[in-house]
Structure 1
Amino acid sequence: LITDLKQRGLLDSTLIVFSGEFGRTPFAQGSGRDHNPQGFSLWMAGGGVQGGTIYGATDEYGYRVIENKLTVHDMHANMLHLLGIDHKRLNVRFSGRDMRLTDVHGQIVPEIVGA
């Protein structure tokens, strides 16, 4: 995908995001309920992302974030920034209320977006 987009001159204007809705613990717990929201990975390419950047780290077991923790709100803010959208101005109507996708959180991370 990346090679194709690059050859067509579309990589810089296309943001590719690979992630799951939750992480997994590095240990099998048998029941399949080994979700791990305390430490998981997200991969991005194109669209202005700083290639080759590793941001954050987990403990030696891959269980908890120990360096540069980001929230889902932060990731949404950074993805929207890369798409040219100000996350502080993006509102979604839910149950009759205008709410920000990034709530009152969401920080732009220059190391990721090159800002």
Structure 2
Amino acid sequence: DHVMAALLDDLEERGLLENTLVLTLAEFGRTPTINGSLGRDHFGTAWSVSLSGCGIKGGSVYGKTDKDGQTVAEGEIGAGEVFATIYQALGIDHQKDYHLGARPVPLTNPGIKPVAEVLA
């Protein structure tokens, strides 16, 4: 998408990209096939996340779907791993309990790890 490319180019030209994390994601994707109403339905089976900027290895790709885009063929992860990756890129310890008053608030569940393959 040329608009996203323009944003990333502008941030880089201004020296801001190394300190900025740009991400696009949603809780579901869209079906890889057109439905009977000539549209696409919600599709939680395989979806994409785009991360660019600070802490991210440019040009990296993690995971893939089958040839029809119907199922994850390699590198299936969940929201916990996505958020652990975001926190790691931003330099935030996702394994630490933060506190809201006296209540501990974990950022991710125990055992969740970031996707090291996309981290710089």
TM range (shorter): 0.7 to 0.9
**Runs of 5+ in structure 2 lacking a partner?**
1-6
For residues 98 and 12 of structure 2, the distance between their equivalents in structure 1, rounded to whole angstroms, comes to: 33
Q: Deviations over 1:12-53 (max 9, x none)?
A: 110000122211111233577822222111111111211111
For residues 40 and 97 of structure 2, the distance between their equivalents in structure 1, rounded to whole angstroms, comes to: 34
Determine if contact 1:18/1:44 at 8 Å carries over to the other structure.
yes
Cα RMSD (Å): 2.3
The 1:24–1:97 alpha-carbon spacing in structure 2 relative to 1, beyond 3 Å, is: farther
Question: Which amino acid is 1:49 matched to?
Answer: I
Question: Which amino acid is 2:30 matched to?
Answer: R
Other-structure match for 2:114: 108
The 1:34–1:90 alpha-carbon spacing in structure 2 relative to 1, beyond 3 Å, is: farther
Determine if contact 2:22/2:53 at 8 Å carries over to the other structure.
yes
Other-structure match for 1:4: 10
**TM-score in terms of structure 1 length:** 0.83
Which of 14, 27, 35 is the aligned partner of 2:33?
Answer: 27
Which of 39, 43, 48 is the aligned partner of 2:50?
Answer: 43
Identity of aligned residues (%): 39
**Runs of 5+ in structure 1 lacking a partner?**
none
Determine if contact 1:92/1:101 at 8 Å carries over to the other structure.
no
1:70 Cα offset (Å) = 1.3
Say whether 1:65 aligns with 2:66: no
Q: How many residues align?
A: 112
Say whether 1:87 aligns with 2:94: yes
| Matched residue SS, 1:45 | strand
For residues 17 and 97 of structure 2, the distance between their equivalents in structure 1, rounded to whole angstroms, comes to: 25
**TM-score in terms of structure 2 length:** 0.80
Select between 23-32 and 37-46 the one with higher mean Cα deviation.
23-32
For residues 98 and 71 of structure 2, the distance between their equivalents in structure 1, rounded to whole angstroms, comes to: 31
For residues 16 and 92 of structure 1, the distance between their equivalents in structure 2, rounded to whole angstroms, comes to: 26
